[in-house]
Amino acid sequence: MKNLSEWQPEPGLNQYVAVNLNHPSESLILHQMAQQVRAEIQHREAFNRYCEWYAAIALEHQQDLEKMQAEPQLLTWSPKKQATA
């Protein structure tokens, strides 16, 4: 593992990468880790967007339900047929 002094921030990311890599496999491991982190971030952002959308739709549906409940019931105004026995 590298010393902390050999790690520098990568531009545009909050990740740190080693400046001097001794072995190509270290570079591959870091690359794979970076891809996994990016995939995890994208997954979490997509899930957060879905949760925000779902909450907005649920609120809209609740408001629609309240409006419908406040409207007069047109079917209750129609004359009912009397049952003949």
Q: Which of 9-18, 30-39, 61-70 has the lowest mean pLDDT?
A: 9-18
* Domain contains 15: yes
Residue 26 CB neighbour total at 10 angstroms: 14
Q: What percent of the chain has pLDDT over 70?
A: 64
- What total number of domains does the chain contain? 1
Give the model's pLDDT for residue 76.
Answer: 72
Is residue 9 a part of any domain in this protein? Answer: yes
In a domain, 28, yes or no: yes
Confidence (pTM): 0.54
Q: Write the DSSP assignment of the chain as a string of letters.
A: ---GGGEEEPTTSS-EEESS-SSHHHHHHHHHHHHHHHHHHHHHHHHHHHHHHHHHHHHHHHHHHHHHHHS--GGGGSPPPPP--
Q: Tell me if 75 is assigned to some domain.
A: no
Asked if the structure places residue 80 within a domain, the reply is: no
Domain span holding position 45: 4-70
CB 37 within 8 A of CB 21: no
